Each structure stands twice: as C-alpha cells, then as structure tokens.
C-alpha cells in the first residue's frame, strides 16, 4: 500500500518512476478508447497501430510550417493501388464475375480519377454495363418520340362486315349483265325496223349491240369502282325488271299481244329495275351470295307461278303471266330480306337452283306419257307435281349443301367429307350426302359391254 501510494504521488508531481527490475512495461491504450475495454476477437481487423507520435517540441507551434505528407495523399501510390484494382477487375471480368469486377473498377476510379488506370476503369465499367444490360447513363435519349397510339389489349376485334367477293367486279359479271341489258334495248329498237317481221330486225341488232356492250362496258363500269356484289345487284335488277316488265305487257293486253309490245315492256322494266338495283348497290349491303339467293328465289317463284297456273283450267295466258309476276316479286322480296341473314355463296346457290330445276322438270317427262288432248287432268297433275318438285328440289339442295363453303377456321372439314365419286348426288365415306356437279364419263365396261358415255347421277364411298 505504501508503494502504490508512492507511485501515484510521483505521477501527480510529474516525476518519472522507474520500474522495478524484471517488470514488463505496459503499452498505453489508444487515445479515445475506454480504459480497460476488451478488444472484440470476432470484429474486423483494426488498422495497423500507428507509430508513437514524436514528443511535441517545447514552445509554441509554427503556423507556417509545412504539414507532414500522408501516404494516402501520394498520387504515385494512389495510381499504383488503382492499377492493381483495375488489373484484378479485368481478371474478374474475364471470369464473367461482372458484379465484383464493376465494384473494383469503381473503387479504382475513386482512388485515382485521372490517369491511365482511370481510363481503363471507365472502359471496363462500360463493357460490364453492356454485359449486364444496363443502359449507359451518358447516352443521350433519342429525339424522336413514338406517337403510335396504344391499343387496348382487352378490346375485342370488330367483326368484318365487308361483303364477300373481290374488291373490283370481274369482267365476266360486268360483261354478262351489260350485254343482256344493252342487247334487250337493241332488240327493242330493232323490232321497229320492219312492221311485218319485227324479229328480223330485233334479233341481229340485239345480238350485235349486246356483244359490243358485253366487251366494252366492263371498262366503263370499272370507273365506278364497284365490287362484285354491287355489279350483281344492279344486274339482277335489270334481269328481273325486264322479266316482270315483259309479263306486265302481256297482262295489259288481253288479246293479240305482239313480241314488239313485250320487248317494249321488258325494256322499260329492265331500266326501272336497273335504277332500283343501282340504289341498293350504293349502300353496299348485299354480298354476291345474297344476290344469288335473290335470283334463285325469284326464279323459283316465277316458274312456280307458271306451274301453279296449270292447275287453273281452262288455260288463260294472262293468268299465267300474273302468277309468274307475283311469284317472281315474292321471291325477290324474300331474298332481299333473308339474304343478309344467311351465309350463302353463289356456288352453293347454283346447286340449289339446279336441284329445284331438276325437281320441277322431271314431272314434264311424265306429262309426255300421259298427255291427253281430250282431258285437262294431265295438265293439272303435271302442274301439281312440278310445283311440289320445285319446292322439294330447293329444300333438298339446301340440305345437301349445308356444309358447303364452311369457314375452315371455324369448322374444318375432314378429308373423308370430300371423297365421294363425281356424281350429281354423292355420299362420302364419313356418311354425309352432298350435291355434286353434272359430269360425263366413259361408261364402265362392267355395266355394259358397249363403249359409250354416262352421266353419274348417284355415287357413294364407304
């Protein structure tokens, strides 16, 4: 106790106490650390202990003295450290360790912002950014701005309501309708050349003018820029207007109607019908299939009016004409209403019309065998069967062609649906019946030893 008190007394008076022999001198704790605080063995290694500062010189400090140079302020040493960092960053870049390579390059750039190491570090950082897909911040944005409107992905596509058919009408359709109409007008004018023989002027003039119009009129119609449906709409108006006009000419004169009068009535009706068809064509509401449906119904109605007239005995020509006018008019109205609500095509309607004509024409073969001049029963029976055959044939045509021209994207057909042999009515191996086409082929030697040609009516595949 007395020795400890003596040491403290010496320290208090500023004297130096000499350690006892054999004692180990203690290292003073760093400035700022708490006295007696233990050092963390798991913490990061601390900086190397700085050398003990030199004893301060006695007397006041010189404010104009040059401060001592530190190792971190030496530009040569900083460039050497930056070079080592860049070299290690290059090795990591070659090993495709891009994140660590970029960190070392940035540290090198901080160590020495200027010099060869800094230039190499910047180049290395740019290369690393390209590998990582990072846009260079120094790159200026493009001056052009994309002003394309962004479409709503949830918005449904609008249905295509454009009528089917090519953008422009075919020359065949334009030529046929032009030739028929202009030929009718030419025949009407030619019928006035000879009062005794109106047909002598009507036939050559009508054929010549019609052929000329059929060849040159399509070029003029192209200037209207009408599509196939529009040309067919106007052409259908001229055809059925001419038929109805000619029938009205017969109805208006009960006795002795001449061909010239029928031609005049037909020309007037065709002109009025063409004008009405042109008005409908401007709206562009109908497709070629719709007009084909109108033509089919109008034809069935006109022929049906004549066959129903056979049931009315005795025969009256004006009554036949009136029935045909009523039937054709009803067919036109029905087709115009039903056309836009169906998916018919000209190809399908051609087969439906063919089946209706076949059903209405077969009973007349029977009429040739039962004809009796002393009775009207044969006309009534033939007229009734023909009327039923027209309707039945049309229904059968629609039924057999129900799968024709189906959209392949919605309901694709199987290959077995099209393997029926060529015939008017065919059955495919899938069990479906369909309406084919009229074909002519050599007669099979298995059916007949004589050589010849045959028309297949019914064919099938199993």
Give the up-direction half-sphere exposure of residue 126: CA atoms within 13 A in the CB hemisphere: 10
C-alpha span between 139 and 272 (Å, rounded): 73
Residue 249 pLDDT grade (very low, low, confident, very high; cuts 50, 70, 90) = confident
pLDDT digits (tens, 9 = 90+) for 395-453: 998 888 888 876 443 333 444 555 667 666 777 766 666 666 666 666 666 555 666 66
Dihedral sign computed on CA atoms, order 162, 164, 170, 176? negative
C-alpha span between 52 and 30 (Å, rounded): 10
What backbone phi and psi angles, to 5 degrees, belong to 25? -70, 145
Q: Which pLDDT score, from 0 to 100, does residue 186 have? A: 92
C-alpha span between 70 and 315 (Å, rounded): 134
Pick from 29-43, 128-142, 227-241, 434-448 the range whose average pLDDT is largest: 227-241
Three-class DSSP labels, 332-383: HHHHHHHHHHCCCCHHHHHHHHHHHHHHHHHHHHHHHHHCCCCCCHHHHHHH
Q: Is 39 left (phi over 0), alpha (psi -120 to 50) or beta?
A: beta
* DSSP codes, 240-284: HHHHHHHHHHHHH-SS---HHHHHHHHHHHHHHHHHHHHHHHHHT
Neighbouring residues of 192: CB distance < 8 A, sequence distance ≥ 6: 198, 201, 260
Q: Which pLDDT score, from 0 to 100, does residue 273 have? A: 92
C-alpha span between 227 and 294 (Å, rounded): 18
pLDDT of 462 above 90? no
Question: What mean pLDDT comes out for the span 142-153?
Answer: 54
pLDDT digits (tens, 9 = 90+) for 8-59: 333 333 434 444 444 444 444 444 444 444 554 544 555 555 555 555 554 4
Query: Residue 416 gets which letter from DSSP?
Result: G
Cis before residue 314, ω within 30 degrees of 0? Answer: yes
Q: At 372, list the tokens.
A: 């009796």
Question: What mean pLDDT comes out for the span 308-335?
Answer: 85
Is the Cβ–Cβ distance between 313 and 380 less than 8 Å? yes
Is the Cβ–Cβ distance between 187 and 213 less than 8 Å? no
Residue 154 pLDDT grade (very low, low, confident, very high; cuts 50, 70, 90) = low
pLDDT of 110 above 80? yes
Largest CA distance in the chain: 172
Q: At 349, list the tokens.
A: 């309607």
Counting every residue, how long is the chain? 462
Neighbours of 267 (CB within 10 A): 23
Neighbours of 216 (CB within 10 A): 12
Mean pLDDT, rounded, of the chain: 74
Q: Which pLDDT score, from 0 to 100, does residue 86 have? A: 86
Q: At 421, list the tokens.
A: 């042999």
The more confidently predicted of residues 435 and 174 is 174
Burial (Cβ within 10 Å: 0-12, 13-18, ≥19) of residue 423: buried
């Amino acid at each position: 106790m007395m020795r400890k008190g003596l040491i403290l007394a010496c320290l208090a008076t500023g004297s130096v106490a000499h350690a006892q022999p054999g004692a180990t001198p203690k290292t003073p704790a760093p400035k700022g650390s708490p006295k007696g605080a233990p050092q963390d063995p798991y913490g990061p290694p601390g900086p190397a202990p700085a050398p003990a500062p030199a004893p301060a010189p006695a007397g006041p400090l010189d404010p104009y003295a040059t401060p001592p140079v530190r190792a971190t302020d030496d530009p040569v040493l900083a460039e050497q450290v930056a070079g080592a960092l860049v070299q290690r960053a290059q090795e990591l870049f070659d090993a495709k360790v891009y994140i660590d390579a970029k960190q070392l390059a940035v540290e090198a750039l901080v160590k020495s912002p200027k010099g060869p190491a800094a230039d190499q570090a910047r180049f290395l950082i740019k290369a690393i950014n390209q590998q990582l897909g990072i846009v260079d911040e120094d790159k200026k944005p493009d001056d052009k701005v994309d002003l394309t409107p962004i479409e709503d992905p949830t918005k449904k596509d609008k249905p295509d309501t454009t009528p089917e058919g090519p953008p422009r009408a075919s020359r065949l359709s334009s030529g046929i309708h032009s030739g028929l109409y202009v030929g009718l007008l030419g025949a009407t004018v030619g019928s006035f050349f000879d009062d005794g023989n109106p047909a002598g002027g009507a036939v050559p003039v009508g054929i010549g003018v019609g052929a000329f119009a059929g060849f040159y009129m399509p070029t003029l119609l192209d200037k209207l820029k009408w599509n196939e449906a529009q040309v067919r709409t106007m052409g259908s108006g001229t055809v059925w207007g001419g038929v109805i006009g000619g029938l009205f000419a017969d109805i208006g004169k009960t006795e002795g109607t001449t061909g010239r009068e029928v031609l005049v009535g037909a020309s007037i009706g065709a002109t009025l019908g063409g004008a009405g068809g042109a008005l409908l064509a401007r709206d562009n509401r109908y497709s070629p299939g719709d007009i084909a449906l109108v033509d089919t119904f109008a034809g069935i109605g006109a022929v049906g009016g004549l066959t129903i007239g056979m049931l009315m005995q005795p025969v009256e020509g004006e009554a036949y004409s009136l029935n045909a006018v009523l039937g054709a008019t009803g067919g036109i109205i029905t087709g115009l209403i039903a056309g836009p609500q169906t998916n018919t095509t000209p190809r399908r309607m051609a087969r439906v019309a063919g089946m209706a004509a076949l059903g209405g024409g077969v009973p007349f073969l029977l009429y040739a065998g039962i004809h009796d001049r002393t009775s009207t029963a044969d006309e009534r029976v033939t007229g009734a069967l023909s009327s039923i055959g027209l309707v039945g044939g049309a229904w059968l045509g629609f039924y057999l062609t129900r799968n024709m021209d189906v959209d392949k994207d919605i309901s694709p057909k199987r290959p077995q649906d099209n393997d029926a042999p060529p015939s008017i009515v065919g059955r495919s191996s899938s069990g479906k019946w369909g309406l084919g086409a009229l074909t002519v082929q050599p007669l099979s030697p298995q059916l007949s030893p004589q050589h010849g040609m045959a028309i297949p009516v019914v064919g099938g595949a199993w």
